[in-house]
Structure 1
Amino acid sequence: MANILVVSIVAGVFAASPEASARPTPSAAAQVSQDVYHRTISIDGVEIAYREAGDPRKPTVLLLHGFPTSSQMFRNLIPQLAEDYHVLAPDYPGYGASAMPSRDDFEYSFAHFADIVDQFVSQKDVSSYAIYLMDYGAPVGYRLFAKHPERVTGLIIQNGNAYDEGLRDFWTPIKAYWADGSDENRNALRGLLKLEATKWQYTHGVGDVAKISPDTWHGDQYLLDRPGNQDIQLDMFASYATNVAEYPHWQKLFREHQPPALILWGKNDQIFPAEGAHPYKRDLTNVEFHLLDTGHFALEEYGDEMASEILDFLDREVLPRD
């Protein structure tokens, strides 16, 4: 696959995937129209927006988005998965098309988001699922894994951290806020919520910026600029410290339960750099490991290639079909 560094580790053996050529490319599969539905569901009085596609009788893939975006980051991936799988992609409260309750009425934290998503899959009558975890989706998904490890059929990990090695220079001012939640340290992070920073997340480290639609960062920024939303984001920055405290527990669960994992990681990402990808190989024995020559939002530049790897992984390792 051009411009992608691929290292495959399956049961501790370095090997490329021979089955990858057995499936049609996603571009060909995408010629079959797959309807994507944009729905809402009420959870604890909060309207949660979500995208759904595919046959609910088929195995489910749960897509968990990152910051500062929403399920829109999966807009192109969902139809490619939905031919063979049931796909669910919720927006967290305060993100995307979901409701944005007041901070006085709703606790904005990763633990609460995980509870919301847990109730979401229960209300959708889904008892098992593979999880695509990206950025904020990783701590949300790993909290689900900690609650119900038996339900998780596999992990698709894209620039989603679970190791101290993955928190490097970008996190220095955020760590200062964790140590001292003063107004000064809180306000120092507001620059991360401006248009320039949002655009940077999409364009830094990509091979060809012209491939990245400006709709991505402008759409995200429109939602960030809603009155009250930036303080929600600052609360989430503070809450991220609770995830770091859970890293050792999640790593222990990886070792105990050994879910099959596919790692697709934009190696030029400065938020979650590749140093955070490699440690998964210490704890998981059935890992396919791919470093992609792109940035934080890898799907924007390598969507078709990633979809092909995901479908191959699901077909072979996680959710075999009759």
Structure 2
Amino acid sequence: MKTSYHTKKINGVDIFYREAGNKENPTLLLLHGYPTSSHMFRNLINYLADDFHLIAPDYPGYGRTEQPPMSGFAYTFENFSNLMKTLLDELDIQKFSLYLMDYGAPIGFRIASRNPERIDTLIVQNGCAYEEGLETFWDPIKAYWKDRNNKEAENTLRGFHDPNGLKWQYTHSVPDPAVISPDNWEIDLRHLERLENDAIQLAMFYDYQTNVTLYPEWQEYFRKHEPEMLIVYGKDDYIFPGSGAEAFKKDVKNLEFHLFPTGHFALESFGDEISALIKDFLKRKTGKK
């Protein structure tokens, strides 16, 4: 099944998304992380499209989605979550699974915890819902939360999405960095170099603290609604380490758990293995023949 490319106006913003598969099949919404876009799902979409309906949007300021001026638009996880939920509604998708990676996790956990009856399954790849998962990488971000005028912290955060920082995110802790295409960070740079985008990334770092406040709410959702969850995690990720994956075991009853010896963008180095696990999981849990 070929991937098609679309733009749909949601709450006044042109949202770009990739779509593949038969709409009669179970839907999987793929939510990307920082500082990338739906491009990170290009290979997974091709692998799953014969059996499932895939939707992979870009957030405002990322990928090919419009970047509204900050003066008239809230660059927050709450707003992004509302946009993604409205996109699903506009596409008349009532039941769906969620792939939650990095920033996609807090965006998707908001959707899932507020609409538990619409969730088929959750797939978590290096995304966090526990403070145990916020280790050393998060120290300058936490300093920025305490003082938004902290220039030392701000400069450190800027370094995460400069060219060297981007390459580091894709290659750190990867067993063989030669398998990681440099196209990844070159494509990310396209949107990161847009006017005002650096300030958007800093705003998102600052707003991440609102996700931590919601962690107990999401953990209660896990306990109360017992969603089916698949964890496919790069255990050596410096950003969201394996300790954050292990924490889900405290509250998630219906959990299938897989760690891989790699870093943050695990699909780039273990894409075949992760894709096969996802296909098997979704077929069993959604009843897809």
Question: TM-score interval w.r.t. the shorter chain?
Answer: over 0.9
CA distance in 2, matches of 1:222, 1:91: 13
Q: CA RMSD in A?
A: 0.9
Q: Counterpart in 2 of 1:139?
A: 106
TM-superposed CA distance for 1:183, in Å, is 5.2
TM-superposed CA distance for 1:186, in Å, is 3.0
TM-superposed CA distance for 1:187, in Å, is 3.9
Deviates more, 1:149-158 or 1:183-192: 183-192
Indicate the SS of the match to 2:15. Answer: strand
Which one scores higher on RCO, CA 8 angstroms, separation ≥ 6?
1
Q: Counterpart in 1 of 2:28?
A: 61
The answer to whether structure 1 residue 72 and structure 2 residue 51 are counterparts is no
Query: Does the 8 Å CA contact 2:31/2:108 hold for their aligned counterparts?
Result: yes
* Pairs aligned (count): 288
Q: Which amino acid aligns with 1:268?
A: D
The answer to whether structure 1 residue 213 and structure 2 residue 215 are counterparts is no
Q: Which amino acid aligns with 1:140?
A: I
CA distance in 1, matches of 2:288, 2:52: 10
Q: Counterpart in 1 of 2:68?
A: 101
Indicate the SS of the match to 1:76. Answer: helix
The answer to whether structure 1 residue 152 and structure 2 residue 119 are counterparts is yes
The answer to whether structure 1 residue 311 and structure 2 residue 279 are counterparts is yes
Indicate the SS of the match to 2:200. Answer: helix
> Given the superposition, is the C-alpha separation of residues 176 and 183 from structure 1 closer, same or farther in structure 2, using an over 3 Å criterion?
closer
Residues 234-267 of structure 1, C-alpha deviations (whole Å, 9 max, x = no match)? 0000010000000011000000001111000001
Q: Which has the larger Rg?
A: 1
Q: Which amino acid aligns with 1:48?
A: I
Structure number with the higher helix fraction is: 2
Q: Which amino acid aligns with 2:205?
A: F
CA distance in 2, matches of 1:201, 1:174: 16
Q: Which amino acid aligns with 2:124?
A: I
Match of 2:137 among 157, 170, 186: 170
Q: Counterpart in 2 of 1:272?
A: 240
CA distance in 2, matches of 1:122, 1:60: 13
CA distance in 1, matches of 2:116, 2:154: 35
The answer to whether structure 1 residue 298 and structure 2 residue 262 are counterparts is no
Indicate the SS of the match to 2:62. Answer: coil
Query: Does the 8 Å CA contact 2:233/2:260 hold for their aligned counterparts?
Result: yes
Indicate the SS of the match to 1:132. Answer: strand
The answer to whether structure 1 residue 245 and structure 2 residue 213 are counterparts is yes
Residues 202-237 of structure 1, C-alpha deviations (whole Å, 9 max, x = no match)? 000111111000000111122211111010000000
TM-superposed CA distance for 1:321, in Å, is 2.5
Indicate the SS of the match to 2:33. Answer: coil
Query: Does the 8 Å CA contact 2:282/2:288 hold for their aligned counterparts?
Result: no
Q: Counterpart in 1 of 2:172?
A: 204
CA distance in 2, matches of 1:134, 1:39: 22
After the TM superposition, list the runs of 4 or more consecutive aligned residues in structure 1 that deviate by more than 6 angstroms: none
Match of 1:229 among 197, 214, 219: 197
Q: Which amino acid aligns with 2:103?
A: Y
CA distance in 2, matches of 1:265, 1:200: 18
TM-superposed CA distance for 1:57, in Å, is 1.2
